[in-house]
Amino acid sequence: MIVAFGIIYAIVGLVCVVLVLLHSGRGGGLSDMFGGGLGAQAAASTTVERNLDRITIVFSLLFGFMTLAMAFALD
């Protein structure tokens, strides 16, 4: 059970890293490579950016809750 939970935890962590890297920053991000860069003024208002923000928040919260659950399970 702990091993399966650890594997899921690692996968969620990697997905969080990829999602954060896909965000466009001040100078653009990896999302520019995939056609996400539409310019500095329009990039923050696109539907894709908003959905990427929401998905990143969900996975970050999931990662945080899993961290606490693993801390309590291993204690």
5-9, 15-19, 40-44, 64-68: least confidently modelled range: 40-44
What is the arithmetic mean of pLDDT over 24-43? 58
* Cβ-Cβ contacts under 8 Å for 55 (sequence gap 6 or more): 19
pLDDT of residue 54: 95
State both tokens at 75: 């204690």
* Cβ-Cβ contacts under 8 Å for 13 (sequence gap 6 or more): 63
> Which pTM does this prediction carry?
0.71
pLDDT of residue 56: 96
pLDDT of residue 42: 54
How many helices (H) and strands (E) the chain has is answered by: 3, 0
Question: What tens digit of pLDDT does each residue of 35-47 get?
Answer: 655 555 554 568 8
> What are the structural domain ranges in the chain?
2-74
